[in-house]
Amino acid sequence: MHDKINGDGKTNIAARIRRAAVEKIEEFRRRRLDKQQNFRNSGTLIGRESEQNIYHNVRLREVIPHDEPFLFVDRIIEVESGKRAVGVKNVTINEAYFRGHFPRRPIMPGVLIIETMGQVGGFALLEGNPQFRGKLPFLVGVDKTRFRKPVLPGDRLRIEAEILACKRNLGRVKATAYVTGEVYAEAVLSFSIQDY
């Protein structure tokens, strides 16, 4: 890319700043891809993915009443009934929200990370409590939320949801989002379980 020259022959500062920003973004992406590849090659298990505790998209819909385009969990890979669930979201550049958030630097919106954590948390509550089957988990509170790093296209978001409390029609879940073993976001979510 060539620098633009203004009338007095000096380099356009804005063009240099843009070029530096693009180079930083490219370097950040290269480092993240290297880190992801190293994590995959390390042999670290993402989850105990046996057929009995994997809920693919279709089986997932039998428990939580979400559907495309608002079902963000690709699958549930671990379930400890009444205690916790672990779900996976493969973030791709084809997601519609990347067209506007942000066009030159796509980042998964924080509210959608919360929604993804809420879907895994809602699944943990519904799957672990037979009295909640066929009901709808309404997200009624989000506390202690922290976004530590941006989630980018190509990331595999691993959501761990641990049930903290479940009484009558209320549930509280601690959800943590990981990418390559690092915490990217966390929150305590409150649900009201209602008839569907």
148-158 tens-digit pLDDT: 999 999 999 99
Q: What is the pLDDT of residue 47?
A: 41
Active site residues: 101
Give the confidence band of 62 by pLDDT, cuts at 50, 70, 90. confident
Mean pLDDT value across residues 127-154 = 92
Q: Which residue has the higher pLDDT, 81 or 91?
A: 91
Cα separation, 168 vs 189, in Å, equals: 16
Mean pLDDT value across residues 135-162 = 96
Cα separation, 189 vs 42, in Å, equals: 32
Give the count of beta carbons closer than 10 Å to the beta carbon of residue 44: 10
Q: Which residue has the higher pLDDT, 132 or 165?
A: 165
Are the CB atoms for 161 and 84 separated by under 8 Å?
A: yes
Q: Which residue has the higher pLDDT, 82 or 9?
A: 82
Give the confidence band of 55 by pLDDT, cuts at 50, 70, 90. confident
Q: Using alpha carbons, select from 133, 130, 126, 125 the residue that is nearest to residue 172.
A: 125
66-80 tens-digit pLDDT: 778 888 999 999 999
Q: What is the pLDDT of residue 42?
A: 40
Mean pLDDT value across residues 9-27 = 75
